[in-house]
Amino acid sequence: MQTLWFILVAFMLIMYVVLDGFDLGAGAIHLFAAHNNQERRTILRSIGPVWDGNEVWLIATGGTLFFTFPILYASSFSGFYLPLIVVLWLLMLRGVAIELRSRIASRMWGEFWDVVFFFGSALLAVFFGAAAGNVVRGVPLDKQGNFFEPFWTNPLDPRAALPGILDWYTVLIGLLALAALTAHGANWIAVKSEGDLNLRSRVIARWAWVATIVLTAAGTIATFAIQPAMGKSYTTRPWGFIFPLIAIAGLAGMGYFNWRKQDLRAFLSSAAYLVGMLASSAFGIYPNVLPAVNPANSLTIYNASASQYALTVGLIWWSIGIILALIYFFIVYRRFYGKVSVAEHGEGY
Amino acid sequence: MIDSTILSRFQFAFTLAYHYLFPQFTMGLALLIVVLKGLYLRTGQDIYNRATFFWGRLLAITFVMGVVTGIPMEFQFGTNWSRFSADAGDIIAQTLAMEGAFAFFLESAFLGVFLFGERLVGQKLHFVSAILVWLGTWASGGFIIATNAWMQHPVGYSITPGGRLELTNYWAVLTNSWAFVEYLHTMTGAVITAAFVMAGLGALYVLSNRHVDYGRLFVTIGVIVGVIASIIQLFPFGDAEGRQVADIQPAKLAAIEGVFKTQAGAGIVILGQPDPAKSQLDNAIIIPNVLSFLTYRRWTAVVRGLDTFPANQRPDAIEMTLAYYTYHIMVGLGTIFIAIMGLAVLLLWRRRLFTTRWMLWILFLAMPFPFIANTAGWFTAEIGRQPWIAFGLMRTASGSSPLLSTGTVLFTLLGFAGMYLMLGLLYILLVVGEALRGPSASEAEGKVATAESFLD
């Protein structure tokens, strides 16, 4: 039951990264991809109807994590107190920027929110990557399962007894996340746009792809060096190599379809890459959910989970809820399928 | 003594009270929008459809504020109250997570459909999406109330040898009797807020002789819904809530009613300042025997005072005083709401409301007060429950995150204060802009806001 929930929570988190990932990526590049107000609004319109729903996956993941692994939720949220609150502020600023930018037709107003949207999106991508880096690297859990990490302690030594949120390893993973989401977002804009904007997005996607390859290689080597449990998972359960293979296939597809100018396939490839990378990480730390610097204190799916009864009851209503959610998403994405055009009417983003 | 627990309480109270300014309006407004759209489909008159769009725009702005200020609430259970989350997460996280699965996806998906308009989706789906948004917001409220109700009146759990709380009966948690009464009381409060805002803005239009047709429509709907909601809020819902508190949390009742000493035939305090150090009320105006009657339906029934509870089982001096005041603010305003809406409906019925300027002025000026009443009600419920975070089971001081320093919490508290100040100013700028432009502005003009002139 715990293993099943580990998979389901990982599934929700991956859904979140793949979905919100493209609108974060779109925000991170919109200053460079769009050269005029019309193109800016095209980008905003392409994510406008869906960003809020995408972000709900984060909230729903948080809620599901809370009821399936309450001890993990309590420990990690209080331990990552500072970065989480900063993430909250960034999410707020970014959401407000998307929603308010086009409500007042003023150049200054638009410029201000464009910059907020850019910083909010780019920093969130880096922070999410760094958070993933922290989870893989391990945190200084005490015997009661508590810890508190400051932003940094000794950034040059990820193996310190009391590491901080940011060190060279977690920043490296943060940059990897930024590159990958940039490529993902650029692919999305390419799918949803035409003309110059479409061409520029494709160029950005290509450069981001190159950066992603380099950083993926560096990140992978660093990860196996820093977290030995990672390698052990793969040697004891070799079938897990399927996940890195998905990531590599996605990475190859991103480049190939970009070159062939097949935007939708390139977008699906970057989605596959993200799925592969996240699944590889989740597979690598299992059965831990939060590795500790001192491995004896690690939180695992067994010592951090809710009671069997709560997990069982939860599975019933969760299944119903998630099926309904997928139906809504299908309806909404189908309604807003296709290229975006701003000229047709003035309402909205 | 200021420690990180008390700062976490400040931060939770501040972020939650601020957050709830928005959902109380959207939950009520979502219902009124369904009414407006329904009237349009029934009558075919364009005014109803334009009114739907106008309030839909205000709903959208308010909804965004509700979403962005709501995300921190779910996070703060873990960031600031980790021991409570770890020990009670088996139970409270069920209802919180259900909100995500059943309400958030529904709201966010169909608000998008609703706002993108009927041209894209057709009249029927537009109406259906309005209904689904309404149901989503009310389901959202339901799950939050179920969570809070468990903290007020824990049910369906057992205690493990390790001291954690485990869920043993899921249905008991969902059908908690406390949740039922609290839900009706809270949702009615939300409807009152939306009714007052709609009536108040309508009154402004009529008074200033702009968008008069819309003004009259808004006032009419606002006061009719407002008078019904205000009356049922007092009886039966408020009454039931009070008796439930007396039954399950007698210390809270004593605190909020200002009953220091146990007495038969207790009177109800209309005004007066508590002096907890001397256990007395200064300058009190008390109507004898009424509290006993309201609580137990007998004029001479005994009401327990604060003196019968050990000091560590009841709100401390400052908590008692705060809960007393917020409760009296809520009840006092609730009574005034009935008077305002009752009078307005009377004038509407006599066909004199739209020419009675003083009444329209009152409706206009009354707009902020339901927000205050709802906020005061939540302070009463939460402060009056102290010293417990889960009533009778876990103390607030034992629920906070153990390793947080005061500096860390103060840093984020100040950050939230700054962030929310900015959000509030933006919200006011946009809402005032929409309101001044009014419902008759066409959608093409919709882009030209009043703020444009000074920003360009």
Q: Which amino acid is at B249?
A: Q
Complex ipTM, two decimals? 0.89
Nearest to A63 by CA among B153, B144, B137, B135: B144
Contact at CB, B82 and A335, closer than 8 angstroms: no
pLDDT band at A342 (very low <50, low <70, confident <90, very high): low
* pLDDT score, position B453: 34
Q: Which amino acid is at B223?
A: V
Residue A336 in this model has a pLDDT that exceeds 90? no
pLDDT, mean over chain A: 87
Model pTM score: 0.91
| Residue of B108, B132, B430, B443 best to disrupt the A interface, most CBs of A under 10 A | B108
Backbone angles phi, psi at B165, to 5 degrees: -100, 135
* pLDDT score, position B455: 38
Q: Report whether A155 contacts A166 (CB < 8 A).
A: yes
pLDDT band at A339 (very low <50, low <70, confident <90, very high): low
Q: Which amino acid is at A106?
A: S
Q: What angle do CA A138, A139, A143 make, to 5 degrees?
A: 115
Look at residue A142 and tell me if it is in a domain.
yes
Look at residue A340 and tell me if it is in a domain.
no
Tokens of B418: 């700054």
Which range, of A55-59, A91-95, B139-143, B365-369, averages the lowest pLDDT? A55-59
Q: Which residues of A touch B96 (CB under 8 A)?
A: 63, 66-67
* pLDDT score, position A9: 92
Per residue, what are the HEC states of A233-248? HHHHCHHHHHHHHHHH
Look at residue A349 and tell me if it is in a domain.
no
| Residue of B18, B53, B61, B79 best to disrupt the A interface, most CBs of A under 10 A | B79
Contact at CB, A345 and B75, closer than 8 angstroms: no
Q: Report whether B148 contacts B380 (CB < 8 A).
A: no
Q: Give the residue with greater pLDDT, A178 vs A330.
A: A178
Q: Which residues of B touch A102 (CB under 8 A)?
A: 447
Q: Report whether A21 contacts A268 (CB < 8 A).
A: no
Look at residue A241 and tell me if it is in a domain.
yes
Write the pLDDT tens digit of every residue in A228-264.
888 888 989 999 899 999 999 999 999 899 898 888 8
Look at residue A57 and tell me if it is in a domain.
yes
Tokens of A177: 């996340």
Q: Which residues span the domain enclosing A226?
A: 2-335
Tokens of A248: 């590599």
Q: Determine which helix (DSSP H) or strand (DSSP E) holds B283, and give its type and residue range.
A: strand B280-287
B425 touches chain A (CB under 8 A): no
* pLDDT score, position B456: 33
Backbone angles phi, psi at B269, to 5 degrees: -85, 120
Is A221 exposed, middle or buried, given 0-12, 13-18 or 19+ CB atoms closer than 10 A?
exposed
pLDDT band at A348 (very low <50, low <70, confident <90, very high): low
Spatial distance between the Cα atoms of B332 and B229, rounded to a whole number of angstroms: 16
In chain B, residues 69-88 whose CB comes closer than 8 Å to chain A: 69, 71-72, 74-75, 77-80, 82-83, 85-86, 88
Write the pLDDT tens digit of every residue in A178-190.
999 999 999 998 8
* pLDDT score, position A197: 86
Residue A126 in this model has a pLDDT that exceeds 90? yes
Sign of the dihedral defined by the CA atoms of residues B108, B113, B117, B123, in that order = negative
pLDDT band at A122 (very low <50, low <70, confident <90, very high): very high
In the numeric block, the tokens 């009706």 are attached to: B184
pLDDT band at A338 (very low <50, low <70, confident <90, very high): low
Compute the nearest-CA separation of B59 from chain A (Å): 13
* pLDDT score, position B441: 65
* Regions of chain B with pLDDT less than 50: 443-456
Nearest to A337 by CA among A192, A208, A215: A192
Q: Which amino acid is at A301?
A: I
Compute the nearest-CA separation of B167 from chain A (Å): 6
Is A338 exposed, middle or buried, given 0-12, 13-18 or 19+ CB atoms closer than 10 A?
exposed
Average pLDDT for residues A31-60, to the nearest whole number? Answer: 83
Tokens of B9: 């309480």
Spatial distance between the Cα atoms of B289 and B266, rounded to a whole number of angstroms: 5
Look at residue A348 and tell me if it is in a domain.
no
Nearest to A149 by CA among B8, B76, B405, B71: B405
Q: Which residues of A touch B420 (CB under 8 A)?
A: none
Look at residue A293 and tell me if it is in a domain.
yes
DSSP B394: E
Write the pLDDT tens digit of every residue in A139-195.
888 888 888 888 888 888 877 778 888 889 999 999 999 999 999 999 998 888 888
DSSP B266: P
In Å, how far from its chain's centre is CA A170? 14
Spatial distance between the Cα atoms of B40 and B53, rounded to a whole number of angstroms: 11
Look at residue A341 and tell me if it is in a domain.
no
Residue A288 in this model has a pLDDT that exceeds 50? yes
Nearest to B97 among A53, A63, A75 (CB): A63
In Å, how far from its chain's centre is CA A32? 21
Specify the number of domains making up chain A. 1
Tokens of B245: 């508190």
Q: What angle do CA B314, B319, B324 make, to 5 degrees?
A: 95
